[in-house]
Chains A and B, each alone.
Chain A
Amino acid sequence: MHPDEARLLTALQQTKATPIKTSQIATDPKLGMNPDKVSRTAYSLSQKGLLTLNKLTDTQVSLTPEGREVLSKGLPEKLFLKILPVSVSEVPPELQRGMGWALKRGWAEKKGDLLVATVKTTPTTPEERALKNPSKATPAELDLLKKRKWVSISTTTDYEITLTPEGKSEKPEAHVNQLTPQMLLDGSWKKQSFTTFSPLTPVPKQWPGRFHPMTDLVNRVRQAFLSMGFTERREPFIESTFWDFDALFVPQDHPAREMQDTFYIEGDAPLPKDKALVGRVADIHKTCWGTWEKSEAEKFLLRTHTTCVSARTLAELKPPVKMFSVDKVFRNETLDYKHLAEFYQVEGIVYDPDVNFKHLLGYLKHFYTLMGFDKIRVRPAYFPYTEFSTEVDVWLQDRSKWIELGGAGIFRPEVVAPLTDTTTEEACPVLAWGLGLERLAMLYYGLEDIRQLYRSDITWLRQRREFT
């Protein structure tokens, strides 16, 4: 039992008065509790069945200073009658209110500018009777006095405490709530008994720090590719049109390069220092698309895909290479429930003379198995820089449907040859993919609106389930 409860119970068991009012026992200096605390403690004892409480409500009426003045001097309207007749302008300020009431009661009237009495004697009013003995006044009379602000009425609540038989026999034993360093030092904890706690009682919420769901997902993807022997790579977001488009054989007049889809940034982007590389890229464009302008390759943009990271890798490294990148790409889109202006792309390439289409399917299958999907399928598609181009779908068992998660393929010889300095006939096969991640996150976390991922709603981030 709480120490307060023990103290109150002791006091109640010792007093002879029963029942006893809370206000009364609160006066006991040994108890040392104010009436409010007594009430609260008594309430918790009553919850334990040790006592019963009987609520008492008391109404007290007391005269205000103004009320006492009326009682001693008389009603203001009666005082007013004594100075009649008088002209309106000569009524002294302290009798103004009495004038109002006298006119209202019909004891006086106006004759021109003059106020005159209409009665010789006046009766005793209910107000006067009530003022003399407020405790006997009827509610209607009290109301009159209250309106004229001659009395104030207050109610107090008190409780009558009666110990139950259990309360009489219960041993008041104080328990300790918090174990303190002091108790541990002086050993007093040995003599203490401690409050018990119920696991059913609610406690304040704890919000552990956590990773953002996209961090969890990015790390999961990184683990998957690392386990398959891929090396991680990242490149800056601001890229040149050369790497984002030209190096990937996207014709310079391709609609994807137009302003409305791509975020361009002012300034001239430097071309690669390797002049021969630039020359080879320029040549393949001129041969296949008829034209290539240096100025079109020198613009800055926010990369539209991480495929440019793959292009840079091909230009730098010799096979065998397995590279992956999980990073942001940008599209000039208006945000809605299924479109973002920036999102993650899972990029990967396998650059090796002995790989083929079956291996592309093998890596994709293995990756999605690691991400928790058993079944994938690829469908023919089109991208300017791949041939074999495929869309990658995964099977959702619980919804019984395929959902599209990205694109994959084999880089065109027209992409690989200039970057790796070979002929198109001898170009090495390069398996490549660019997969979406937000859509996967929506599946994992059951979201209908893609913006939820980046709205950074603290409550959602705190409460979202861990994905296992």
Chain B
Amino acid sequence: MIVEVEYADLISLLGKSVPLQDIVNALDMFGTPVDEYDETTLRVEVFPNRPDMLGPEGISRSLKGVLGIETGLPQWKMSSSELEIDVTSTTIRPHLSFATVTGVKLTESAVKSLMQMQEKLHIGMGRNRAKFSIGIYDMDRIRFPVKYTEMPLKDISFMPLDAPTGEELTGQEVLTQTEKGRDFAHLLPKNPRKAPVMVDAMDRVISMPPILNADFCKVTSSTTNLLIDSTGTAPGTDRMVALIATALAERGGTINVVMPGPLFLPGRMKLDMKYIHKLTGLELNRSEVAELLKRMRFGFLDEVLIPPYRTDIMNQIDLAEDLAIAYGYQNFTHELPRMGLVGKPLKVSEFENTLRCLMVGNGFLEVKLFNLISKVDALLAGGAKVETANPKSLECSVLRPSLLPGLFGLLRSNKSADYPQRIFEIGEIFAPGQGRCLAGFITHAKAGFTEVKGVVDAIQDLTGKTAEQPTWKAGEHPMFMPGRTAISEWGVYGELLPVLSQKIGMPVAGFELRLETDL
């Protein structure tokens, strides 16, 4: 996912002026490469393993570590909150977590970044809000205790964010009259029509997850105290809340623990020095390892302390990779292990190359076409036997039942190339099982049965097929001329139907032979 961050905002979060190019280089070698940048804005690519870096706060936190500005476990002002949340059980989105962050100084740019992070989390970890969604509110506008419950849509009434008319809407109207309502209505139960809601002490709806929040408590650049919630259909809402709260804390806020909600305690993992050595090949002592891990913002006592926003650390290998990133991939030497193994080619690959040499020696040009063709083209060879369920384009929608329709199409699009034309392809067919074939066409003013029979005979003789004696006999094929078609269990050859060669404007002869299919 691409995250946009402002260079000025990044510098103010870093607390130190760092040249733009140094930041770009550091991010490229951190695993969050810079896609594009200019003097004011960087577009950073963030992969799903680092959702904490979906904003300038998390990016600056990581940069502080690798640039040596601040290392070790991030320290935030922590407190516990006495806010009360009254949870009535709800079956629609039964998992929920909260936290508050107080005393934050927001700017327009910070609000924009916060919204960006919320949206990216919705799409990624939130699986388009189906799994998790997040709400962020100006908590000073809300009267506590807040109640989480569910209500029939018709009984819900509030003015949502970005309300089209600036008036209160019912829950039903929110789903039909707002963009977000239309996009996410499918996440609510159809019958009965109800939705989870968060209501404050004055009975005002503050949000209808996972659709929209109320307008009256929205976050602006003058907001200083924020309430964060996450609701979901699976465990893990605490991680979503922790990601947002720890990002805000980078702007100087105090994190207040609310129940239910994350405790913001670091995770703990024993460090297996031998494993780190084995996997990285680096001979590092304990203090060197500690130093590298601290640059990645881990704490290190007798165990590794994992910051609560790191949702991706599952075992030792994750620590080893972070350590290697801190060490710098560019600083590793390139080595080859001692392994006494002999490389073996596949017989089928070698055989196909032998056939290619034979064909090329016979003056044939090799072509390579797609396995996916259109349904209409497949009809030429009797129709497709395997279709894809969801093609994006009709041109690539079915697997070819034969190589011949594609090769015929190729002749049609190459009428301006010099004649004679002799082409062949070795490739897969699906009829319906996957098999391999050698097929080709000859086209020039005197192309015909005799020439193509000569070609097939040569392949047959030179590949030792004669011993097996495929019994060629006069036969029928949807693309070849009756009376000038030979078939056997090995395949087909003959003269193309005049109704088809008419489209080329030249006589055409061709063949298709099945190859041994064992890979």
Q: Which residues of A contact B279 (CB under 8 A)?
A: 356-357, 388, 410, 429
Contact B127 A255 (CB under 8 A): yes
CA distance A228 to B341 in the complex (A): 9
Contact A390 B329 (CB under 8 A): yes
Interfacial residues of chain A within 209-239, with CB under 8 A of chain B in the complex: 209-212, 214-215, 219, 222, 225-238
B317 nearest in chain A by CB position: A387
Question: Chain A's nearest CB lies how many Å from the CB of B231?
Answer: 17
Interfacial residues of chain B within 334-350, with CB under 8 A of chain A in the complex: 334-337, 339, 341-346, 348-349
CA distance A233 to B331 in the complex (A): 33
CA distance A215 to B353 in the complex (A): 9
Contact A263 B390 (CB under 8 A): yes
Contact B393 A225 (CB under 8 A): no
Q: Which residues of B contact A194 (CB under 8 A)?
A: none
Q: Mark A353-394, 1 if CB is under 8 A from B, else 0.
A: 011111101111110000000000111111010011111000
B319 nearest in chain A by CB position: A387
Residue B314 CB within 8 A of the other chain: yes
Contact B392 A413 (CB under 8 A): no
**When the two chains form the complex, which single residue of B235, B365, B372 contacts A210, counting CB atoms closer than 8 Å?**
B365
Question: Chain B's nearest CB lies how many Å from the CB of A180?
Answer: 23
CA distance A410 to B280 in the complex (A): 10
Q: Which residues of A contact B505 (CB under 8 A)?
A: none
Contact B337 A209 (CB under 8 A): no
Q: Mark B294-336, 1 if CB is under 8 A from A, else 0.
A: 0000000000000000000011111011001100011011111
Question: Chain A's nearest CB lies how many Å from the CB of B404?
Answer: 14
Q: Mark B234-249, 1 if CB is under 8 A from A, else 0.
A: 1100000000000000
CA distance A264 to B6 in the complex (A): 41
Contact B372 A209 (CB under 8 A): no
Contact A379 B329 (CB under 8 A): yes
CA distance A231 to B364 in the complex (A): 30
| A320-B339, A322-B339, A377-B330 known; A382-B29 Cβ under 8 A | no
Q: Which residues of B contact A291 (CB under 8 A)?
A: 234
Q: Which residues of B contact A79 (CB under 8 A)?
A: none
Interfacial residues of chain A within 112-134, with CB under 8 A of chain B in the complex: none
Residue B366 CB within 8 A of the other chain: yes
Residue A36 CB within 8 A of the other chain: no
| A231-B344, A335-B393 known; A212-B366 Cβ under 8 A | yes
Q: Which residues of B contact A350 (CB under 8 A)?
A: 337, 339
| A237-B434, A412-B317 known; A335-B395 Cβ under 8 A | yes
Contact A209 B364 (CB under 8 A): yes
| A207-B418, A378-B329 known; A413-B315 Cβ under 8 A | yes
Residue A188 CB within 8 A of the other chain: no
Residue B131 CB within 8 A of the other chain: yes
**When the two chains form the complex, which single residue of A230, A342, A462 contacts B365, counting CB atoms closer than 8 Å?**
A462
Q: Which stretch of A62-70, A82-90, A91-99, A453-461 is in the interface?
A: A453-461
CA distance A360 to B220 in the complex (A): 49
Contact B366 A209 (CB under 8 A): yes
Contact B372 A341 (CB under 8 A): yes
Question: Chain A's nearest CB lies how many Å from the CB of B306?
Answer: 15
Residue A259 CB within 8 A of the other chain: yes
Q: Which residues of A contact B348 (CB under 8 A)?
A: 234
A390 nearest in chain B by CB position: B329
B346 nearest in chain A by CB position: A232
Interfacial residues of chain B within 218-235, with CB under 8 A of chain A in the complex: 234-235
Contact A361 B332 (CB under 8 A): yes
Contact B428 A356 (CB under 8 A): no
CA distance A144 to B324 in the complex (A): 102
**When the two chains form the complex, which single residue of B318, B346, B389 contacts A266, counting CB atoms closer than 8 Å?**
B389
Q: Which residues of B contact A356 (CB under 8 A)?
A: 278-281
Q: Which stretch of B176-184, B355-363, B468-476 is in the interface?
A: B355-363
**When the two chains form the complex, which single residue of B49, B315, B337, B366 contacts A359, counting CB atoms closer than 8 Å?**
B337
Residue A182 CB within 8 A of the other chain: no
Q: Mark B22-58, 1 if CB is under 8 A from A, else 0.
A: 0000001111010000000000000111100000000
Question: Chain A's nearest CB lies how many Å from the CB of B163?
Answer: 31
**When the two chains form the complex, which single residue of B280, B321, B341, B410 contacts A387, counting CB atoms closer than 8 Å?**
B321
CA distance A352 to B336 in the complex (A): 12
Residue A46 CB within 8 A of the other chain: no
Q: Which stretch of A48-56, A167-175, A272-280, A325-333 is in the interface?
A: A325-333
Residue A205 CB within 8 A of the other chain: yes
Question: Chain A's nearest CB lies how many Å from the CB of B37?
Answer: 16
Residue A334 CB within 8 A of the other chain: yes
Residue B466 CB within 8 A of the other chain: no
Contact B418 A457 (CB under 8 A): no
Q: Which residues of B contact A363 (CB under 8 A)?
A: 336
Q: Which residues of A contact B467 (CB under 8 A)?
A: none
Q: How large is the interface on B (under 10, 10 to 19, 20 to 34, 35 or more residues)?
A: 35 or more
Contact B334 A365 (CB under 8 A): yes
A263 nearest in chain B by CB position: B388
Question: Chain B's nearest CB lies how many Å from the CB of A411?
Answer: 9
Contact B235 A215 (CB under 8 A): no
What DSSP secondary structure best describes chain A's contact surface? mixed
CA distance A379 to B32 in the complex (A): 9
Residue A183 CB within 8 A of the other chain: no
Residue A142 CB within 8 A of the other chain: no
Q: Which residues of A contact B417 (CB under 8 A)?
A: 457-459, 462
Contact A265 B389 (CB under 8 A): yes
Contact B335 A358 (CB under 8 A): yes
Contact B363 A382 (CB under 8 A): no
Residue A414 CB within 8 A of the other chain: yes
Q: Which residues of B contact A384 (CB under 8 A)?
A: 48
**When the two chains form the complex, which single residue of B325, B342, B418, B421 contacts A229, counting CB atoms closer than 8 Å?**
B342
Contact B47 A381 (CB under 8 A): yes
Q: Which residues of A contact B413 (CB under 8 A)?
A: 457
CA distance A352 to B341 in the complex (A): 11
Q: Which residues of B contact A362 (CB under 8 A)?
A: 334-337
Q: Which residues of A contact B379 (CB under 8 A)?
A: none
Contact B360 A253 (CB under 8 A): no
| A229-B341, A328-B371 known; A263-B360 Cβ under 8 A | no
Question: Chain A's nearest CB lies how many Å from the CB of B226?
Answer: 29
CA distance A388 to B235 in the complex (A): 27
Question: Chain A's nearest CB lies how many Å from the CB of B277?
Answer: 8
Q: Which residues of B contact A453 (CB under 8 A)?
A: 368
Q: Which residues of B contact A302 (CB under 8 A)?
A: 388, 399
Contact A414 B314 (CB under 8 A): yes
Interfacial residues of chain A within 255-312, with CB under 8 A of chain B in the complex: 255, 259-260, 263-266, 288, 290-291, 302
CA distance A391 to B45 in the complex (A): 13
| A320-B339, A332-B392 known; A379-B29 Cβ under 8 A | yes
A–B complex contacts, Cβ < 8 Å, 28 sampled: A208-B360, A209-B422, A229-B341, A229-B343, A231-B341, A232-B344, A232-B345, A232-B346, A236-B434, A236-B519, A302-B399, A328-B371, A357-B332, A358-B335, A359-B281, A362-B336, A378-B329, A379-B28, A380-B321, A381-B31, A387-B317, A387-B318, A413-B315, A429-B278, A456-B367, A457-B414, A458-B365, A459-B414
Which 6 A/B pairs are nearest by Cβ-Cβ distance?
Answer: A380-B31, A382-B47, A356-B281, A209-B360, A226-B343, A458-B417
Q: 12 additional contacts, CB 8 Å, given A290-B234, A358-B333?
A: A208-B360, A209-B366, A232-B344, A232-B349, A260-B392, A320-B341, A342-B371, A379-B329, A380-B329, A387-B317, A456-B423, A459-B417
Which positions in B face A, CB cutoff 8 Å? 28-31, 33, 47-50, 124, 127, 131, 234-235, 278-281, 314-318, 320-321, 324-325, 329-330, 332-337, 339, 341-346, 348-349, 353, 356, 359-372, 386-393, 395-396, 399, 410, 413-414, 416-418, 421-423, 428, 430, 434, 519
